[in-house]
Amino acid sequence: MRSSPRRLPALLLGTALVTTVLGAGTIASATTTAQSDRDATAAASAAHTGHAMAVSTQASGDDPDGDGYIPAVPQVTGVTPSTATPPSRYFHEFQANCSVTHTAPDDPIVYPGQPGKSHDHTFMGNTSTDANSTTASLTGGATTCKAPADASGYWMPSLYNGDRKILPIGPQTIYYKAGVTDYTSVRPFPKGLRFVVGNPMQSADEFRHHRGFVEGWECGDSYFNVDFPATCPNRPDVQLNIRFQAPSCWDGKYLDTPDHKSHMAYPVVKPGTNDNMCPADHPV
């Protein structure tokens, strides 16, 4: 896929392979910071060749039969989504601050064991992440995350300005939030959980109405942009950012599914309230 200047930017697909249980939470959103450019729209004109979200049929260390389903062991069953509204508290989150490690045309979730098959990705966290990564290979590995025990890998499509790759500056922030109103019902995510958020082939309208759209692209005083801001102040203290929220609810059964998305879901609003709760088919 070659993007035109008004097509979607390159950072619409986010992926994570969670290998350590850091606490009670699920990946809620990530803020990515890239070096600003006076004409940021020009960066959209050269999004790297991409792919549609294909069903994974390649066997890997985590999925030996290659059917795309990786069962959780043990599975979490018998859960009823909580409708409670607990006492108000100020924070229900923690953050993983992880610097960029490398870039490569690899994706161990979508194209496991197939180096060079993906469009180019910018990797953060675990320094060993590549096309052959598995939960076992990442566990205990070196990391650029500030929490030394966090062996998780995070990656996103690389951002280009023409043929020049633009790397994020400094540690990137991955927020782990409750996602649901009853934060007391939140459980630790399982080791080995993996998922993909977004779609590099979606239209601008689909991007704007995606549940993960938080503030879109922002730069300086310009935010809620579906496309790159037309201009961006050329100052060292101003950066181009995007924030994208991941689903907070899990089916309790699979660490991954063939489309890398179906085992995860966004919260739903409890009828008659503004409270969020998990849907019945993704109760955890």
- Residue 11: the pLDDT is 31
pLDDT less than 50: residues of the chain: 1-13, 19-29, 35-56
- Residue 50: the pLDDT is 29
- Residue 56: the pLDDT is 44
Q: Kindly state the DSSP code that residue 90 receives in the 8-state scheme.
A: S
Dist CA 13 CA 107 (whole Å)? 11
Chain centre distance of CA 85: 28
> Please, which residues have CB within 8 angstroms of residue 274's CB and are 6 or more apart in sequence?
none
> Strands, DSSP E only, in 38-148?
70-71, 93-98, 100-104, 121-125
Question: What is this structure's pTM?
Answer: 0.81
Tens of pLDDT along 4-41? 222 233 333 355 565 433 322 334 445 565 544 333 33
Q: Report CA Rg, the chain.
A: 18
Tens of pLDDT along 67-106? 999 999 999 999 999 999 998 887 788 899 999 999 999 9
- Residue 223: the pLDDT is 87
